[in-house]
A and B are shown apart, each in its own frame.
Chain A
Amino acid sequence: MPAALDAVRVLDLSDDRAIYAGKLLGDLGADVLRLEPAEGDPLRARGPMRSGESLWHAFFASSRTHARADDDAAAIHTLAPQAHILLDCGRLSAAAITADELLEANPALVIVDVSSFGPDGPWANWQAPALVAEALGGVAATSGDADTPPLKLFGDQYAFVGGVYAAIGALSGFHHARETGQGQVVRLALHEALVSVLEHVLMWAWYDKLLPFADNSKGPFLPRQGSLHWTRAYQVMQARGGSIMLTIAPDLQKQLAWLVEDDAHADLLDPVYAEPEQRLLLIERSMDVLRRWAAEQEVEPFFHEAQRRHHPYGWVMPIPEVAANPQLEARGWWMDYPVGGGAVRGPGLPYQFAETPGGITGDPSRPQLCSAEQIIDEIGWGG
């Protein structure tokens, strides 16, 4: 059964800021050609490694054909007219190729140009690796605890954010191109993309006067506070044998009924907490009661019992336990990634298409240096 993006051709010139877009498109069936620089893809050196092969690269550069051209500009000029989508992070300008040239040769082409800050502005030429991007983008200020520095997220999350937005830009541009024949350039600044996924942060800055519990003594922002949610109604707590994220949302009364059933409700039935103006006090006291209650529970049965009662608790799992998760196993979620002639288990797709299923494909082996003509003959994009 053909996948959703069967026969959609993508020329991938991206670096780490948009490499995930190629994976998303390739996993859904697009014919993605990753054109490596003549000296090879520097992302093949990024750990973790197995037997000299990058597992980082195996994951992010999966579901693609890999090629390496002896003349980057000639290869781009040869391949772009045959592509529907081109993913770029500065290779075009490095090769002295303009988007206008490519669109003249292929008017329906969608060029997705991902940069750290956009093509102009005071920071346009600044360097922003993950740590810097997440600091400037508001991610770090919002993560960490009062007694730690601000924290970046684990594992190059900026690459996921840039990549998924780039995929949306590519596919919405492709939709328009299929409807009208008109291609275009879609520009994406990773800085803006990161700011767009900060949940409460912009709300806090703009509408703090409308948030009854906002303490803005330091300004219209919420200082980092560990796992305590901005509503103060979710927090990671210690149970026996592990940590668990507990919350009184979405139904405090139902949570209270469970506490009463367990005779662990302390003073929460006191009428003082029923007053509307004591809402914050009720939340904070409830979380305090939950913390003491959780400390007496075995984490695994506690988690499952909470979920049986439809409380959205979350057991804090390290990687080995995530890898052994029965839900993922039952859904047949894991897939094999080709690595160095073998295969390594890894994440599957987060969506199951009923009619056009996708999957992990491609061979990430290091490609030989070829001419543009050889590449286009080999991948079948000619004509």
Chain B
Amino acid sequence: MPRPLDGIRVLDFTHVLAGPFCTRVLGDLGADVVKIGTDSRDAGGGGPESPYYAMWNRNKRLLQLNLSRPEARRIARSLADQADIIIDNFSVGVLDRWGLDWDSVAQTNPGLISIAMSGMGASGPWASYVTYAPTVHALAGLTYLTGVPGRSDIGIGFSYNDHMAGLHAAAALLAALAARRRTGRGQRIDMSQFEVGVGFSGPALLDWFANGAAAEPLGNDPPWRIAAPHQIYPCRGDDRWIAIAVETDEQWRALRRLLGEPAWARSVQFDTAAGRWNARAELDGQLAGWTARQDDYELMERCQRAGVPAGVVQNGADLTQRDPQLRHSNYFFDFSSAHPLLGPMQGERLPMHFSETPVERYERPEVYGESNAAVLRDWLQMPEREISEGTAGGVIQ
């Protein structure tokens, strides 16, 4: 079966998470992604022997070049001539030094699309600043705002912006492919991971510019509207929790019935959203006393069946071992072959289901040099003798 991006060639100079996540998505969608590995560029995300690297580098072919050698840079340049897309998330200027910037390559490959996913973008007083996701979270307001009132030191507990920068880069590249089909020309895209992150506070920033209102951390209250009960409540067991989000009077009445219509819940102050909001400390306290005696999954089932939005706070073990919805959709899978360094591997599918071009092919992440010969043959028609000489001479590793 065809995949949506069959025939698209991607030359991948990314490392750590944001860039590799973008090219993982492109590879899942059917693009032929060739990842260039270099000894000096594994820092920060580990190499193919690392589970972290393995998470983001499936569906790619790995070509290991010693880019400190001019012969290797010539090979990379030839590969660039065959590519539809070149992508990197280095600091500004690294690809330029290798002669792989868009202006150079486009002289011989005018259809090339290149995207530089730097931390801050290619211009501006902070262009040379270096970022990881926690850096961007801090600078973009995401750390400040994701917390409880009075604390701005919590933030997001995972590298959200890396994933999202990768996804935005994929969207940008697909848009540039559409433009190329119309114009016949490729182009250069300057992407700022910082700007991706700042965009996630869009409504809060408009509120600041329009009203001078500065958003503050709210815990689990919804911003800019009232809804109660709307919290994460403890359940029976060690660190077990459930989210309950009552947004209508009808949902509140349904929850009250589940509670068994206790006297405290029948108080008229709780009949309206405003009343519940104003008395939410009391409401949350009473509700937490009830939920703390309940099993989280059983309570979620009862709430949802009664029309009350509720969900268990699922951790990684819950997601991978218990979540019946993910099991139903076969979201997790085992790679068909074991990784030479890490052994049997699992993965999660691309969360998109195409009716005519199903995305069902998942090749395990490769190890150093695993596709050296195949890539050089496929993309450059390089004779075996040259490949052997390059390998023996340390140009191809």
Q: How far is the CA of A356 from the CA of B222 in the complex (A)?
A: 37
Interface flag for A76 (CB, 8 Å): no
A260-268, A272-280, A315-323, A366-374 - interface stretch: A315-323
Contact check, A165 vs B167: say whether CB atoms are below 8 A apart.
yes
B320 interface residue per 8 A CB criterion: yes
> Which of B142, B203, B318, B353 has the most A CB atoms < 10 Å from its CB?
B203
User: What sequence of 0s and 1s flags, for each residue 192-224 of chain B, a beta carbon within 8 Å of any chain A beta carbon?
Assistant: 111110111111111111110111111110111
Q: Are A138 and B223 in contact (CB under 8 A)?
A: no
Instruction: Give 25 pairs: A residue, B residue, CB < 8 Å, sorted on A.
Output: A7-B182, A59-B203, A118-B329, A131-B222, A138-B315, A143-B158, A144-B154, A151-B148, A169-B352, A176-B356, A178-B178, A178-B181, A186-B355, A200-B159, A201-B158, A229-B134, A249-B132, A314-B138, A315-B139, A316-B153, A318-B144, A351-B115, A351-B190, A351-B192, A355-B183
Q: Are A143 and B353 interface neighbours, CB within 8 A?
A: no
Please state if A350 and B199 are interface contacts (CB–CB under 8 Å): yes
B393 at the A interface (CB under 8 A): no
Q: Is the CB of B123 within 8 A of A330?
A: yes
Task: For A55, give its contact among B139, B190, B207, B312 (CB under 8 Å).
Answer: B207
Q: Which of A66-74, A87-95, A204-212 contacts B (4 or more CB under 8 A)?
A: A204-212
- Total interface residues on A, using CB and 8 Å? 156
B245→A318 contact, CB < 8 A: no
- A352 to B: closest C-beta gap in Å: 4
A241-253 CB contact bits vs B (8 Å, 1 = yes)? 0011101011100
> Is B51 within 8 A of A207, CB to CB?
yes
If A140-B232, A206-B346, A234-B132 touch, does A201 touch B316 (CB 8 Å cutoff)?
yes
| Stretch in contact with the other chain, from B303-311, B368-376, B383-391 | B303-311
User: With A118-B325, A151-B147, A220-B316 known to touch, is A140 a contact of B158 (CB < 8 Å)?
Assistant: no
Once the chains bind, are B324 and A350 in contact (CB under 8 Å)?
A: no
Q: Is the CB of B146 within 8 A of A153?
A: yes
Known: A140-B241, A172-B4, A350-B191. 5 other contacts (CB 8 A): A142-B158, A187-B353, A188-B352, A316-B153, A351-B195
Bits for A309-350, please: 1 = Cβ < 8 Å to B, else 0: 011111111111011011110110100010100001111111
Residues of A within 8 A of B345 (CB): 206
Are B232 and A322 in contact, CB atoms less than 8 angstroms apart?
no
**Given A127-B304, A184-B356, A356-B187, A154 contacting B132 (CB threshold 8 A):** no
Is A48 within 8 A of B243, CB to CB? no
Q: Is B357 an interface residue (CB 8 A)?
A: yes
Tell me whether B367 is interfacial, beta carbon within 8 Å: no
Bound-state CA distance A218–B205 (Å) is: 40
Q: Is the C-beta of B164 less than 8 angstroms from some C-beta in chain A? A: yes
**Cβ-based interface call for A223 (8 A):** yes
The answer on a CB contact under 8 Å between B205 and A204 is no
Contacts A318-B214, A345-B209 given: A236-B138 contact, CB under 8 Å?
A: yes
Of all chain B residues, which has the CB nearest A237? B153
Chain B residue with the shortest CB-CB distance to A348 = B195
Contact bitstring A115-138, B, C-beta under 8 A = 1, else 0: 001101111101111111111111
Interface centre among A122, A155, A179, A196 (most CB of B within 10 A): A155
Partner of B224, one of A25, A47, A161, A197: A47
Which chain A residues border B165 with CB–CB below 8 Å? Answer: 350
A353 at the interface (CB under 8 A from B): yes
- Contacting chain A: which of B65-73, B75-83, B169-177, B256-264? B169-177
CA distance A244 to B316 in the complex (A): 28
> 0/1 per residue, B1-20, Cβ < 8 Å to A?
01011010000000001000
Answer yes or no: B59 CB below 8 A from chain A CBs: no
B366 interface residue (CB < 8 Å to A): no
A86 within 8 A of B: no
Contact A185 B355 (CB under 8 A): yes
Query: Given known contacts A121-B328, A174-B178, is B310 in contact with A202 (CB within 8 Å)?
Result: no
Q: A89-109 toward B: CB 8 Å interface, digit per residue (1/0)? A: 000000000000000000000
Q: Mark A3-23, 1 if CB is under 8 A from B, else 0.
A: 111111000000000000000
Tell whether A236 pairs with B174 under 8 Å between CB atoms, given A135-B313, A138-B316: no
Residue from A56, A180, A307 in contact with B203 in the complex, judged by beta carbons closer than 8 Å = A56
B320, closest chain A residue (CB): A205
B282 lies within 8 A of chain A by Cβ: no
Chain A proximity mask over B124-145: 1 for CB below 8 Å, otherwise 0: 1111111111111111111111
Tell me, in angstroms, the Cα distance from A316 to B241 when the chains sit together.
29
Contact indicator A345/B130 (Cβ below 8 Å): no
B242 contacts chain A at the CB level, 8 A cutoff = yes
**How many inter-chain contacts with C-beta < 8 Å in the A-B complex?**
523
> Is the interface on chain B under 10, 10 to 19, 20 to 34, or 35 or more residues?
35 or more
Q: Does A379 contact B (CB under 8 A)?
A: no
Is A77 among interface residues, defined by CB-CB distance under 8 A?
no
Query: Using Cβ atoms and an 8 Å threshold, which residues of chain A touch B182?
Result: 2, 6-7
Does residue A58 face the partner (Cβ distance < 8 Å to B)? yes
Residue B338 is within 8 A (CB to CB) of chain A in the complex: no
Compute how far the CA of A207 lies from the CA of B365 in the bound complex, rounded to whole angstroms.
15
Chain A stretch 188-225: residues in CB contact (< 8 A) with chain B: 188-189, 191-193, 195-207, 210-211, 218-225
* B27 proximal to A (CB < 8 A): no
Which residue, of A123, A137, A314, has the highest number of chain B Cβ atoms within 10 A?
A314
A168 at the interface (CB under 8 A from B): yes
Q: Is B44 an interface residue (CB 8 A)?
A: yes
Check A123 against B325 for contact (C-beta < 8 Å): yes
Say yes or no: B146 contacts A327, CB within 8 Å: no
> Quick one: which of A151, A168, A193 contacts B154, CB cutoff 8 A?
A151
Which listed residue, B123, B141, B174, B323, touches A322 by the CB 8 Å rule? B141
Bound-state Cα–Cα, A299 to B357, Å: 52
Q: How close is A110's CB to chain B, nearest CB, in angstroms?
A: 9
Determine if B314 and A137 form an interchain contact, defined as CB atoms under 8 angstroms apart.
yes
Q: How far is the CB of B92 from chain A (nearest CB, A)?
A: 12
Interface residues of B in 32-83 (CB under 8 A from A): 43-44, 51-52, 54-55
Q: Which residues of A contact B311 (CB under 8 A)?
A: 128, 131-133, 135-136
Q: A49 → chain B, closest Cβ, in Å? A: 8
- B230 touches A (CB below 8 Å): yes
Q: Which residues of B contact A183 (CB under 8 A)?
A: 356
Selected from A145, A218, A236, the residue in CB contact (under 8 A) with B143 is: A236
B202 touches A250 (CB 8 A): no
B160 with A157: CB separation less than 8 A: yes
Asked if residues A56 and B224 are in contact (CB atoms below 8 Å), the reply is: yes
How far is B8's CA from A290's CA once the two chains are assembled, in angstroms? 46
- State whether the Cβ of B96 lies closer than 8 Å to any Cβ in chain A: no
* CB pair B171 A154 closer than 8 Å: no
Contact across chains for B247 and A129 when beta carbons are under 8 A apart: yes
B349 touches A48 (CB 8 A): no
- A164 to B140 CA separation, bound complex (whole angstroms): 19
Q: Enumerate chain A residues within 8 angstroms of B155, measured Cβ to Cβ.
A: 143, 226-227, 236, 245, 316
